[in-house]
């Protein structure tokens, strides 16, 4: 059996999840790991028994045996690295957000189409069992028309440091870091509608940095649903964990994290909780493993990954519109 050969670009926190997921797939070989700090790459390589540790991507670009890469770097490098590998005939998995802005995403998509290479984006909540249960419930019509949702991407009494808090490296703050999870999760649950309007209020309340740590968005989708999205770092309270979503329907209510349904019955309501697998952690390893399984399957079958360029671009379009709306104080129309 021919091995699918993958390189990890980035050796930070999230790369551990990807490495663990890839190592459960028998037909995969992780051939290299890259970090700008060679010592970090060497430690990572030792931990996961990876043959080659590098401090730049150049040696990998012309490696004829390399099938694909997992890019988990600061956001500034997502698209430049992706384009470099796509042009050399390698498939690409990109951590979220897909790029620094919507224009970058469009540039990368053009390269991917021209090169006929695949791009997958790390919106991992699409691979979560609870999320898929709520999506299926909405699709069944059981809740009626979903007219309003509320979603959260907030860190309570905590926030990141380093490149996450530098606009030139991250593109944005808590919205680009955490809000994207809430945006993509609700879009997936609703059946991937297109956004038509975005209104946002965005500010920095907790840190001496040039990015946001507080945002409230209202997104109008083309199916008529209005979605409220809240993102933040260091907040004293959060209404639910990452990607937690409330959905209000004309016949009932659904909640993701904790996951339950609240249905109308006569003049009252009945709350039920489905029997779903127990979670080891909120961001459980299984979600990331399923992501890697899907990416590898797509490399082998040459099928477009989902979520891919279109899903990643939609999130970038919404985030760009939110920053523009916050700057002008006006609603931004996307159609």
Provide the pLDDT for residue 10: 97
- The whole-model pTM stands at 0.96
Provide the pLDDT for residue 267: 87
* CB distance 179 to 211 below 8 Å: no
Tens of pLDDT along the chain (335 residues) come to: 689 999 999 999 999 999 999 999 999 999 999 999 999 999 999 999 999 999 999 999 999 999 999 999 999 999 999 999 999 999 999 999 999 999 999 999 999 999 999 999 999 999 999 999 999 999 999 999 999 999 999 999 999 999 999 999 999 999 999 999 999 999 999 999 999 999 999 999 999 999 999 999 999 999 999 999 999 999 999 999 999 999 999 999 999 999 999 998 888 899 999 999 999 899 999 999 999 999 999 999 999 999 999 999 999 999 999 999 999 999 999 99
Spatial separation of the C-alpha atoms in residues 135 and 120, rounded to whole Å: 21
Please say whether the dihedral angle defined by the alpha carbons of residues 13, 18, 24 and 26, taken in this order, is positive or negative: negative
DSSP structure string for 120-148 = EE--GGGG-HHHHHHHHHHHHTTT--EEE
* CB distance 256 to 282 below 8 Å: no
Provide the pLDDT for residue 47: 97
Provide the pLDDT for residue 266: 86
* CB distance 20 to 14 below 8 Å: no
> Which residue do the tokens 């490399």 mark?
299
Provide the pLDDT for residue 284: 95
In the chain the domains, ranked by start, together with CATH numbers, are 4-123+285-305 (3.40.50.720), 125-280+316-333 (3.30.360.10)
Spatial separation of the C-alpha atoms in residues 128 and 90, rounded to whole Å: 27
Provide the pLDDT for residue 2: 87
């Amino acid at each position: 059996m021919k091995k699918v050969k993958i390189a990890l670009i980035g050796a930070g926190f999230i790369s551990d999840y990807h490495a663990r997921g890839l190592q459960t797939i028998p037909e995969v070989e992780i051939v290299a790991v890259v970090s700008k700090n060679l010592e970090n790459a060497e430690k990572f390589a030792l931990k996961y028994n990876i043959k080659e540790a590098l401090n730049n991507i150049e040696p990998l670009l012309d490696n004829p045996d390399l099938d694909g890469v997992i890019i988990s770097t600061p956001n500034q490098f997502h698209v430049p690295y992706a384009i470099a590998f796509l042009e050399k005939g390698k498939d690409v998995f990109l951590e979220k957000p897909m790029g620094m802005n919507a224009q970058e995403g469009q540039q990368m998509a053009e390269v991917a189409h021209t090169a006929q290479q695949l791009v997958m984006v790390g919106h991992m909540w699409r691979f979560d069992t609870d999320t898929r249960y709520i999506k299926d419930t909405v699709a069944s019509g059981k809740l009626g028309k979903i007219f309003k949702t509320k979603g959260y991407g907030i860190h309570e009494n905590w926030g990141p440091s380093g490149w996450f808090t530098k606009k030139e490296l991250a593109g944005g703050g808590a919205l680009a870091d955490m809000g994207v999870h809430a945006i993509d999760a609700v879009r997936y649950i609703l059946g991937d509608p297109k956004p038509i309007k975005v209104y946002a209020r965005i500010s920095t309340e907790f840190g001496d940095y040039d990015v946001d740590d507080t945002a409230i968005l209202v997104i109008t989708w083309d199916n008529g649903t209005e979605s409220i999205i809240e993102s933040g770092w260091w907040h004293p309270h959060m209404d639910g964990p990452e990607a937690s979503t409330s959905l209000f329907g004309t016949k009932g209510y659904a909640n993701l994290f904790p996951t339950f349904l609240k249905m109308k019955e006569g003049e009252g309501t009945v709350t039920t909780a489905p029997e779903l697998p127990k979670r080891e952690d909120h961001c459980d390893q299984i979600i990331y493993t399923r992501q890697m399984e899907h990416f590898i399957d797509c490399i082998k079958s040459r099928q477009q990954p989902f979520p891919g360029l279109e899903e990643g671009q939609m999130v970038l379009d919404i985030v760009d519109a939110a920053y523009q709306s916050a700057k002008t104080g006006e609603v931004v129309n996307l159609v």
